Structure 1
């Protein structure tokens, strides 16, 4: 910070998950750099530059926002970012918020857990919620999917 260097933060997550452990995320380091007087430009999710860049690249290949989905494990970054650019989102329950869902077994208790979680993040709510994410069969064609107005 004393040398006046500008930092770029491509991932503002405060913490991450490595195996079964929670680890410090790059966003924590960026905020500490700011605390010492450094300048940080946030370019990663949920900030607009990364989403606008990706949307532009995809549109060049005739893939449009209504055909895409933002998948992630953090409401504050992944789901909020997708919501801000009006694309569908999918929250993976086994990530950063796994503790919220660990005792939720029924659809009603899962929904209650999701409501409580979303209240902590300005009522941002994912379009979809999945148990985990792994490679498998391809998703159905989303090319002609119409996005409902919010």
Structure 2
């Protein structure tokens, strides 16, 4: 049974580390969420470690710069694990071949920057679809366009047996008040069409392995029972926590704000209905991280 809470401090003493989602929890894609940042800062002052675990396709350093741009204070977190870094490591081991067709926006080509954690990385070349051995997707060419616009290219790719490396399993994200499509929507379409998509972010294991390595690099040896995953994605954050057998705190005022009727707090009946529909079992729920 999910327990409804009003502040992180109510349960913080039960956990030594937090795996915290970013978008919809710590910032809204435009600016930092002050109460969330204050709650994480207080948690760290109490001795806890905060690992920001994000499905961003960006490298860790780029996410760090973005956080500062949004106004997230440095004292609200310890380290970062990104879907992008997990997926980049796979790409540089040749997961989808050496010659790849890139789907994403111009600023996301940093995905192809060298990565230090892979020994003897393969050389990756971006090519046209008809020359590609595989596909790398960091997000849609146009995040406002229906993913169906990619069907003709995906049909050609599927026919040739190309694998699609998905750097961000999220389906949608809210940038301020605007909802945008993410790479996960394209990967889902490709899979539905009979293609093979490879995932490296939440809810899939690789990003949690990376998060644990980041935690260990801080000198923290934390038992699974002392880790709390926090996020607003039912099928990413909460499903991922369930797969990793760690407790979770569901932020209802993010992607599911409408379905859970969240203003400051979720409507309990609506929340139960949503949890049942999504077939998830968060340990706790709260309107907004505070």
Same fold (TM over 0.5): yes
Q: 2:197 aligns with which of 40, 51, 63?
A: 40
User: C-alpha offsets along residues 88-121 of structure 1, whole Å, 9 cap, x if unaligned?
Assistant: 1111122110002336778xx7321221011112
Q: 1:110 to 1:104 in 2, by over 3 A?
A: farther
Structure 2 regions of 5+ residues with no counterpart?
1-156
Contact preservation (8 Å) 2:165, 2:198 = yes
Q: How many residues align?
A: 131
Identify which of 199, 210, 215 aligns with 1:58. 215
Cα pair distance change 1:96/1:105, threshold 3 Å: closer
Q: 1:34 to 1:83 in 2, by over 3 A?
A: closer
Shift of 1:35: 4.7
Aligned position for 2:164: 7
> How far apart are the structure 1 equivalents of 2:282 and 2:262?
20
Does the CA contact (< 8 Å) of 1:90 and 1:128 recur in 2? yes
Q: Which residue of 1 aligns with 2:233?
A: 74
Deviation string 1:23-46 (CA, Å, 9 cap, x unpaired) is 112211112333555421112111
SS state of the match for residue 120, structure 1? helix
Match of 1:120 in 2: 277
* Cα distance in structure 1, aligned partners of 2:262 and 2:241: 27
Pick the structure with greater CA Rg.
2
1:98 aligned residue? 257
Distance 1:98 1:23 in 2: 16
- SS of equivalent residue, structure 1 residue 132: coil
Partner of 1:129: 285
Question: Counterpart in 2 of 1:31?
Answer: 188
Q: Is the 8 A contact 1:55 1:65 kept in 2?
A: no
